């Protein structure tokens, strides 16, 4: 499993997905775009499924994307796609601009941003909880305004977006990704019984994936789950052999379970992730 470090670094995954919306068979052409949120399934990398929640700006000049890719453990990525012929101010240097997302409630989120090409802007965040707080507001606010400025304070673009359907579309994209990801993976951490897990490996995972990561340590030892959902999940894995209600755990396994529980406790203090209404 390939995870982002603390600072999310957007790879070509999202760029490939965005291009796929416009270039490949079954793609959504410019004439089909609207100001409504929509969910799009795509494939990235070597055919890894990805799920996008996307909406056009009210003036139809740009599209805003939230991508959940099974290639990236469904860690959300954000990008802006240019829909007009006028290019973004693309620079070959690695300098960052500043993006500000503002809501009517006066909530604001500041992110670093950089054009990946004349057609796409990528957004960067420090921690999962920072992005979860932003997505939480996407689901409860009626609209948002996005502005991007240079380090010198020059405004590069400013657009408004409707959020009416976001409370349905964003959770579905996230949940579809996590369901598909778990079906494709035998383990989230195949070696969690042999080595200590690092905090950086855990902090970008969602709460549902943390729960699976914790319980797969027990499942590997044949634990019999009372939870119907966990029992059903692990029953699909060929390696799972339920045989004990009290399996013996090694010091490394106990420590890893405690590390994951600590991260789950941190997650409960933060705004919830995408929730279907």
CATH value at residue 258: 1.20.58.1690
Q: Where are the beta strands (DSSP E) in the chain?
A: 38-44, 48-56, 62-69, 77-82, 97-102, 108-117, 120-124, 143-149, 155-162
User: In terms of pTM, does the model score above 0.85?
Assistant: no
**Same domain for 144 and 28:** yes
Specify if 274 maps to a domain.
no
Last residue of a domain, one of 163, 182, 201: 182
Specify if 4 maps to a domain.
no
Kindly write down the DSSP assignment for every residue of 15-32, as one continuous string.
HHHHHHHHHSTT---GGG
> What's the domain range around 253?
186-269
Give, for all 277 residues of the chain, the pLDDT tens digit. 333 333 344 444 554 555 444 433 333 333 333 457 988 887 766 678 999 999 999 999 999 999 999 988 898 999 999 998 888 877 777 788 999 999 999 889 999 999 888 899 999 987 777 888 899 999 999 999 999 998 888 998 999 999 988 999 999 999 999 999 999 999 999 999 999 999 988 988 889 999 999 999 999 999 999 999 999 999 999 999 999 999 999 999 999 999 999 999 988 876 555 554 4
**Same domain for 121 and 72:** yes
Q: What pLDDT is recorded for position 64?
A: 95
Q: What pLDDT is recorded for position 148?
A: 94
The domain that contains 152 carries what CATH number?
2.60.40.1880
Give the integer Cα–Cα distance in Å for 67 and 77.
5
Q: What pLDDT is recorded for position 186?
A: 93
**Same domain for 207 and 125:** no
Specify if 5 maps to a domain.
no
Last residue of a domain, one of 167, 182, 197: 182
User: How many domains does the chain fold into?
Assistant: 2
Specify if 144 maps to a domain.
yes
**Same domain for 231 and 104:** no
Which residue's entry shows tokens 């529980």?
261
Which tokens go with 42?
């795509």
**Same domain for 260 and 208:** yes
Q: What pLDDT is recorded for position 45?
A: 60
**Same domain for 240 and 155:** no
134 vs 109, 131, 244, 247, CA distance in Å?
7, 5, 42, 40
Q: What pLDDT is recorded for position 151?
A: 83
Q: What pLDDT is recorded for position 252?
A: 97
Residue 151 is given by DSSP the state: T
Specify if 1 maps to a domain.
no
Specify if 6 maps to a domain.
no
Q: At what angle do helices 166-184 and 128-140 cross, to 10 degrees?
A: 140
Give the integer Cα–Cα distance in Å for 274 and 166.
10
**Same domain for 83 and 103:** yes
Q: What pLDDT is recorded for position 275?
A: 53
Q: What pLDDT is recorded for position 35?
A: 54
Q: What pLDDT is recorded for position 2?
A: 37
């Amino acid at each position: 499993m390939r995870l982002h470090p603390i600072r999310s670094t957007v790879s070509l995954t999202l760029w490939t997905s965005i291009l796929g919306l416009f270039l490949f068979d079954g793609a959504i052409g410019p004439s089909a775009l609207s100001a409504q949120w929509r969910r799009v399934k795509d494939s990235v990398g070597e055919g890894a499924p990805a799920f996008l929640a996307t909406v056009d700006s009210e003036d139809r000049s740009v599209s805003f994307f939230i991508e959940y890719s099974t290639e990236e453990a469904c860690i959300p990525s954000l990008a802006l796609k240019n829909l007009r012929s006028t290019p973004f101010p693309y620079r070959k240097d690695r300098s960052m601009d500043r993006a500000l997302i503002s809501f009517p409630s006066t909530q604001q989120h500041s992110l670093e941003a950089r054009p990946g090409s004349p057609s796409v802007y990528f957004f960067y965040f420090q921690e999962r909880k920072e992005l979860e707080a932003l997505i939480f507001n996407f689901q409860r606010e009626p609209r948002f305004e996005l502005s991007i400025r240079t380090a010198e304070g020059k405004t590069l673009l400013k657009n408004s977006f409707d959020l009416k359907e976001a409370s349905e579309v964003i959770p579905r994209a996230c949940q579809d990704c996590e369901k598909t990801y778990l079906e494709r993976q035998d383990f989230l951490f195949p070696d969690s019984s042999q080595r200590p897990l690092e905090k950086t490996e855990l902090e970008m995972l969602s709460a549902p994936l943390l729960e699976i990561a914790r319980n797969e340590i027990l499942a590997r030892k044949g634990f019999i789950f009372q939870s119907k959902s966990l029992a059903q999940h692990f029953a699909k894995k060929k390696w799972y052999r339920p045989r004990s209600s009290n399996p013996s755990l090694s010091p490394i396994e106990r420590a890893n379970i405690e590390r994951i529980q600590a991260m789950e406790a941190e997650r409960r203090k933060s705004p919830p992730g995408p929730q279907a209404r």
